[in-house]
């Protein structure tokens, strides 16, 4: 894990919020009803989504499906709000799990009764499926919904899938923004 990057990310999350140029980008790719949903994200999550989208644009991406998915990839996090320390806990816990070579079994059914340390992990794991369901209920195009649904599980997707290249690009931009 790149600790200096993670500290930079944490510091930016403390003071992040979209600016005027970010609003233009958001309005360019999201419908007015999706802007309302997007605005339910914490300001730091909004800023992260904009960074992911801008990174893709800076790297020459112009696919509107991908860029829209970049803005919406974490939208499932509006279902259960996390404090900043809880978001940091997700990163630390994943790192510990990798170092130990273990996968921890997390059951979505237990979210409401989850102990303090487990709740953020459940949100981290299940927000892609919650986001996909939310976007589907909003009538969002299925390719965008699919990218949101799999943005944390790209290794489970068949590399010959027609949208796999877009998914890999989203994952790379998300992990470095």
Q: What mean pLDDT is reported for the chain?
A: 86
In 3D space, the residue among 45, 44, 42, 62 whose CA is nearest the CA of residue 54 turns out to be 62
Q: Tell me the two tokens of residue 82.
A: 């996390």
pLDDT per residue over 29-77, tens digit each?
999 999 999 999 988 889 999 999 999 999 999 999 999 999 999 999 9
Torsion of CA 44, 49, 55, 60, to 10 degrees: -160
pLDDT for position 19: 79
Measured at the alpha carbon of residue 140, what is the angle toward residues 69 and 134, in degrees to the nearest 5?
A: 85
pLDDT for position 10: 60
Say yes or no to pLDDT of 13 above 60: no
Say yes or no to pLDDT of 94 above 80: no
Output 82 or 63, whichever has higher pLDDT. Answer: 63
pLDDT for position 101: 63
Say yes or no to pLDDT of 6 above 80: no
Where exactly are the structural domains of the chain?
3-82+127-175
What is the rounded CA–CA span in Å between residue 155 and residue 82?
Answer: 26
pLDDT for position 166: 98
pTM of the predicted structure, to 2 decimals:
0.82
Say yes or no to pLDDT of 97 above 70: no
* DSSP for 49-66, written as a single string: HHHHHHHHHHTT---HHH
State the sign of the Cα–Cα–Cα–Cα dihedral 14, 18, 22, 28. Answer: positive
pLDDT confidence bin for 2, thresholds 50/70/90: low
Residues 111/80, Cβ–Cβ less than 8 Å = yes
CATH of 3-82+127-175, one of 1.10.3210.10, 1.10.10.350, 3.30.70.1710, 3.90.1010.10: 1.10.3210.10
pLDDT for position 23: 93
What is the rounded CA–CA span in Å between residue 161 and residue 68?
Answer: 19
């Amino acid at each position: 894990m790149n600790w200096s990057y993670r500290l930079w990310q944490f510091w930016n999350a403390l003071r992040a919020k979209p600016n005027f140029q970010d609003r233009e980008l958001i309005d360019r790719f999201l419908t007015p009803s999706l802007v309302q949903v997007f605005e339910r994200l914490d300001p730091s999550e909004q800023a992260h989504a904009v960074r992911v989208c801008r990174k893709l644009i800076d790297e020459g991406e112009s696919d509107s499906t991908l860029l829209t998915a970049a803005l919406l990839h974490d939208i499932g996090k509006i279902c259960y709000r996390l404090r900043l320390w809880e978001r940091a806990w997700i990163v630390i816990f994943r790192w510990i799990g990798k170092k130990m070579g273990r996968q921890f079994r997390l059951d979505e059914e237990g979210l409401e009764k989850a102990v303090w340390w487990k709740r953020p992990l459940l949100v981290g794991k299940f927000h892609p499926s919650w986001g996909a369901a939310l976007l589907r209920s909003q009538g969002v195009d299925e390719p965008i919904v699919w990218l949101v649904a799999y943005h944390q599980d790209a290794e489970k997707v068949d590399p010959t899938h027609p949208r796999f290249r877009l998914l890999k690009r989203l994952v790379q931009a998300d992990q470095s923004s």
